[in-house]
Structure 1
Amino acid sequence: MRATEEQHNARKREMMEKCFECYAENGLTGTGIKALAAACGCTTGNLYSYFNSVDELIIESTAYCMEKVEDDFMEMAPTDPKDVVRFVKEVPYWTAKKHGKKYRLMYQIYTHPKYIEHGKKFFEGVNERYTEYAKRLEPKIGIPYTVITPLIFIFVRACVHYAMFEDEYYLKTQMEVLKQGVALFADKYRSQYLNGGNEK
């Protein structure tokens, strides 16, 4: 019984990935249930044995697959301040190449009136994850996590924008603001530390 349940869940995860890839490749409105079933190597009836409706399939596959994308992103995130330069230079282009179509699909889904509440829930989780990451960085770089968190958001937004539109100008301007911001904040909090934390 347990093995059957595990197999069922594994097959469902596989279907979510294949359906999301199918949508990302062909568009949300241009992909029918038959195309999804074909991508999964099953019948439409079999697909409905895992999902009650197409809406449920879209909601669950988007949440699952974009969480995997975020996992990929976080695996590359630097834990050593010395690695930040490499990360900032490489990740926008890596994101665009590996996940550009997925980000375009995600925004298409999560801005749709039918699914926007699910989008809010997803991004609440993303916000929590990046805040926790900022808290881990705080003692390593000496900048409060409340300052690091918005800097992370600037970087992520620039990466996602580039992944969707390959807008080099936007990316470079955001990266320049980010670099200057990090330098200014580093100087500010280093100065506070040297003055016993009394400088405002």
Structure 2
Amino acid sequence: MNALADELRARADRLAHLAKTIRVKESRPGKAFFSAEGVSGREVSLSEVNLVRVFVHFEEELRRQSFVRSGSSKQKIVTKERARTVGVYARSGLWVALENLAAERGQKPSVIYRNLLRSGVHDLNKRLDKESSARVFGELTALLEGFDGAEKVQKMVRIDKDFYDQAIFIAKEFRKSMSEITSMCMAYGLSKVVTQQPVAES
């Protein structure tokens, strides 16, 4: 209970900081630039401004910064505690493609899953800020359906808590299951690897 109370107090402090320091200005026609002290700014379309999403983005940046400043030894412990496990249902063809990528890179499949989820959630978040959700999810659904396999297979996938929280937020906002969002993000991340955009190692 003490840990929960500490986390709630820390979050309240971050939100209070954002409320005091957030700034908005028109960066170019149809676009607004949001910024806050201590975090990188973000440009958002004025026709699709989602203040909750902007605050979530800034709060996650503040949390990551305080996390890094806490020290390397403590960081390793907290990282392990903050990871979350998600049950992901996807066609067998997706899992085969991911395992083949892991073999090519000499990495464990779990590392590939986690890295692709991280990059996929990050990129999906950015696209949903700028593009129509129907277009984005239509593209990702088609991407998933392009993999072989008549039946779906479930695997348990570990994801960093920061990205887990973002995925949960997207799932709730757009009425998708967590399994749908995570499978889409891994497929999207994989598609970018195929076009020779590297995925960083954990």
The TM-score bracket by the shorter chain reads 0.3 to 0.5
**TM-score for the superposition, normalised by structure 1:** 0.33
**TM-score for the superposition, normalised by structure 2:** 0.33
The structure that is helix-richer by fraction is 1
Q: Which has the larger radius of gyration?
A: 1
